[in-house]
Amino acid sequence: MAQAEDAKTLSYDAMLTNYEYAYKEPLQFYEFESQKQKLKMAYVVLKGLSDHPAITLLHGKNFNADYWAETAEFLNEEGYTVIVPDQIGFGKSSKPMAYQYSFASLAQHTKGLLESLGIESSIIIGHSMGGMLASRFALQYPQMTQKLILVNPIGLENYLQYVDYKDVDFFYKNELAKTPEKIYAYQKANYYDGQWTDKYQKLTNFMVGQVQGPEAEKIAWVNAMTYDMIFTQPVVNDLKDLTVPTRLILGTRDRTGPGRGWKKEGADHELGRYDKLGGQVIQHIPDAHLYELDGLGHLPQMEDFTRFSIILKQSIEQ
């Protein structure tokens, strides 16, 4: 992958054809039809021991299966079979431009993938937007969810309660305005507390390559459509209906608050207070436990994997 000095030469198509994921196992594709379209869902499987449950890792909005590599390998070494998919609209999976994106449909696709692999149930782990998806999966398919683990998920608040609704065209315009400099600056400030390393750079390069690539407008449109889910398909009010063991892992420095820039007039609620949200939310979730990682932000698994891995193992085993 490119380093900072040659980032300006990065160019990737919509399917990240020339972008290599950091997995030893080969990428595979689950093919199916949805909404009158033939789609391909990219995924990686790391096979583990037969007496260990399977674990499925669900990525966030500005990520793909690649950033889970270190976590997946750690879990695999612990004996777990690990499945890491790219959701439709993300990573190396199909990106239909005329499609009704929803957490319900993405959950259904994930269920289909697991069934195609002969997996009857799995521990479901979701980060960021993947936490909203993981929650919806557990609500729709509790019989397939052994445990739900949420890592700094967004959606612990109902954003439209505090911010103005924005049409997909609004997000499309914002996506078209993205530049490599803006992408790096946003992630540096919001994810990594002003710090920047080669590791963080590599995780961001796929986005930079796509905004500089031959299908930048397509990527902008698909990204805009998937933003809409975050605001119009809240999960927080449904968490009380979860029937599976739920574990919440939060880097408490996180202040991620979608829509903060267009709050409703007079709204004084402070979005993204992860140092407070965890304690508030688990009160309403049956069989829930909160693990807080002080000093870490939106990506605790990237900032301090050692600390994160200890808590992750505890959340799986307890």
pLDDT surpassing 90 at residue 179? yes
Q: Which residues contact 6 (CB under 8 A, 6 or more apart)?
A: none
Residue 214 near residue 238 (C-beta atoms within 8 A): no
pLDDT surpassing 60 at residue 2? no
User: Which pTM does this prediction carry?
Assistant: 0.97
* Boundaries of every domain in the chain: 19-159+233-317
Percent of the chain with pLDDT over 90: 97
pLDDT confidence of residue 3: 47
pLDDT surpassing 80 at residue 77? yes
Q: Rounded to the nearest 5°, which phi and psi values hold at 139?
A: -70, -40
pLDDT surpassing 70 at residue 290? yes
Q: Average pLDDT over the chain, rounded to whole? A: 96
pLDDT confidence of residue 47: 98
User: What is the separation, in whole angstroms, between the first and last Cα of the chain?
Assistant: 38
pLDDT confidence of residue 43: 98
The string of pLDDT tens digits covering residues 50-66 is 999 999 999 999 999 99
Residues 237-249 have a mean pLDDT of 98
The string of pLDDT tens digits covering residues 104-149 is 999 999 999 999 999 999 999 999 999 999 999 999 999 999 999 9
Residues 167-193 have a mean pLDDT of 95
pLDDT confidence of residue 7: 81
Residues 5-21 have a mean pLDDT of 90
pLDDT confidence of residue 189: 92
Percent of the chain with pLDDT over 70: 98
CATH superfamily, with its number, for domain 19-159+233-317: Alpha/Beta hydrolase fold, catalytic domain (3.40.50.1820)
The string of pLDDT tens digits covering residues 192-207 is 999 999 999 999 999 9
The span from the CA of 316 to the CA of 5, in Å, is: 40
pLDDT surpassing 90 at residue 8? no
